[in-house]
Copies of this chain bind each other. A is one copy, B any other.
Amino acid sequence: MPRLHIISASTRPSSAGRPLARWIAELAAEHDAFDTRLLDLGEIALPFMDEPEHPEAGVYRHRHTKDWSATIAAGDCFVFVMPMYNGGFSAPLKNAIDYLYQEWQNKPVGLVSYSAGKTGGAPAIEMIRPVLGRVGLRPALRTLSVPAIESYVDEEGRFAPTADLRTRAQAVLDAVADLATTPEAERVSA
């Protein structure tokens, strides 16, 4: 089974994205297609990219980079659970991507955004696309953007989805599973 890493991309202590990421991880664990792991960029606590060499070289000086490289190399596919700040993706997500290169190549990624407002962070998904292209991540066609994120977090800090959100989140996971079980070469020649 492909190893799916769900990456929670906010490092703010009060982030409403954490309950959403935990819920996506639960859905993925119920999905019979994945071996699922939840990664929290707040816990991983990478510093700002501080390697002297370009990541394409794959020559890492720092322990935190070597650990992050091993973590991402172990993933076959990903879901980014991403906040939108000021109409764009968050700094911790961009930083985590920029540290590595080869480790991302040709791997599927599902994009789940959220925001306090009406867009659900969809503009942040659009903004990250060229970056994904540069490191060779393959975004799934289906995405999910959750508006008014705080309205879905209950008093115990759990994400309380509607049936519609559940259906759409499962569609993202299905799309990632589809990409993960279809090699790139096969898709091109199909």
B-contacting residues of A (Cβ < 8 Å)? 11-14, 48-52, 54, 85-92, 94-95, 97-98, 116, 123, 127-128, 130-131, 133-135
Partner of A98, one of B48, B86, B128, B135: B86
Give bound CA distance, A15 to B12, whole Å: 27
Give bound CA distance, A134 to B13, whole Å: 23
Chain B residues near A11 (CB-CB < 8 A) = 48-50
Whether B49 contacts A133 by the Cβ 8 Å rule is no
Q: Which of chain B's residues has its CB closest to A92's CB?
A: B48
Chain B residues near A86 (CB-CB < 8 A) = 97-98, 130-131, 134-135
Q: Which of chain B's residues has its CB closest to A127's CB?
A: B127
Taking A11-B49, A94-B94 as known contacts, 9 extra A-B pairs with beta carbons closer than 8 A to each other, sorted by chain A number, are A11-B48, A12-B52, A85-B98, A86-B98, A87-B130, A88-B128, A89-B94, A91-B94, A91-B95
Whether A94 contacts B88 by the Cβ 8 Å rule is yes
Number of copies of this chain that the complex holds: 2
Chain B residues near A89 (CB-CB < 8 A) = 94
Query: Given A85-B98, A130-B127, A51 and B90 touching (CB < 8 A)?
Result: no
Whether A48 contacts B91 by the Cβ 8 Å rule is yes
Give bound CA distance, A92 to B46, whole Å: 12
Whether A49 contacts B14 by the Cβ 8 Å rule is no
Give bound CA distance, A4 to B117, whole Å: 34
